[in-house]
């Protein structure tokens, strides 16, 4: 299968989401400082980080001798094949509850505190994503929001969930695609946005940018 999308991330969840749609994905992690500026609005923050990740990887690709495969049109599908390292996708996700930005917990105690804060409340998951076309030097960028309502939880219940071990690498200290699914009473908006990449909006932006030849449907 032709290499179609470069993901500026090591996130297995974002990679899996793209592969579910039929994309082949190469992960090239970004090398940037992921720090929020003082009083930076959460939506600006995730868009800025998503764009910074993408531009960092674009720079790495352009200064590294990656093997390129000549493009050709498939006689079967009529789509372009073998065109590698053109489309770069990056994203960043945070949880916002009552104006407080929750990122990945520092340790188990931090995860416990985050989850106790979210228990029985509605919070917002924000994902900023950026798509870069290396052939045209054009980018598309957007922030997507999803409202998530958590069930009430006791201290013991939160401790037991943290002990499962899926909190540490996730914004807000939970994984909706894992055991953490049982914490969620309901949501309004994109489910895949909560996982880490809003697929509907990502594909829409790719279509608007002219990536029709790599869409696997």
Q: pLDDT of 87-117, one tens digit each?
A: 999 999 999 999 999 999 999 999 999 999 9
Q: Which of 14, 16, 48, 11 lies closest to 33 in space, CA to CA?
A: 48
Alpha carbon distance 153, 158 (integer Å): 7
- What pLDDT, on a 0 to 100 scale, did the predictor assign at position 66? 55
- Cβ proximity of 144 and 189 under 8 Å: yes
Alpha carbon distance 86, 83 (integer Å): 7
Q: What is the DSSP letter of 44?
A: H
- pLDDT tens sequence across 184-199: 999 999 999 999 999 9
* Catalytically annotated residues: 92
Q: Helix, strand, or coil here: 215?
A: coil
Helix, strand and coil in the chain, % to nearest 5: 35, 25, 40
- Which tokens belong to 204? 């829409």
- Cβ proximity of 217 and 23 under 8 Å: no
Residues 40, 46, 48: CA angle, nearest 5 degrees? 75
Q: Which of 211, 172, 216 lies closest to 42 in space, CA to CA?
A: 172
Domains of the chain in sequence order? 5-214 (3.90.950.10)
pTM for the model: 0.88
- pLDDT tens sequence across 44-88: 999 999 999 999 999 999 988 554 544 444 444 444 444 558 999
- Using the CB atoms, write b or e for 57-67: b if 16+ within 10 Å: bbebbeeeeee
């Amino acid at each position: 299968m032709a290499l179609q999308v470069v993901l500026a991330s090591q996130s297995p969840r974002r990679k899996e989401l793209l592969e579910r749609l039929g994309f082949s994905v190469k992960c090239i992690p970004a090398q940037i400082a992921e720090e929020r500026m003082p009083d930076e609005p959460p939506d600006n923050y995730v868009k800025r980080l998503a764009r910074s990740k993408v531009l960092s990887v674009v720079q790495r690709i352009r200064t590294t001798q990656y093997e390129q495969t000549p493009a050709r049109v498939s006689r079967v599908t009529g789509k372009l094949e073998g065109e590698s390292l053109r489309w770069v996708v990056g994203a960043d996700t945070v949880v916002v509850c009552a104006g407080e930005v929750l990122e990945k917990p520092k340790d188990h105690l931090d995860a416990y505190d985050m989850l106790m804060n979210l228990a029985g409340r509605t919070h917002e998951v924000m994902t900023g994503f950026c798509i870069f076309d290396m052939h045209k030097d054009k980018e598309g960028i957007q922030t997507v929001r999803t409202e998530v309502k958590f069930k009430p939880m006791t201290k013991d219940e939160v401790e037991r969930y943290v002990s499962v071990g899926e909190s540490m690498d996730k914004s807000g200290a939970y994984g909706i695609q894992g055991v953490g699914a049982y914490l969620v009473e309901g949501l309004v908006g994109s489910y895949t946005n909560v996982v880490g990449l809003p697929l509907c909006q990502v594909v829409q932006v790719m279509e608007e940018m002219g990536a029709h030849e790599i869409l696997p449907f």
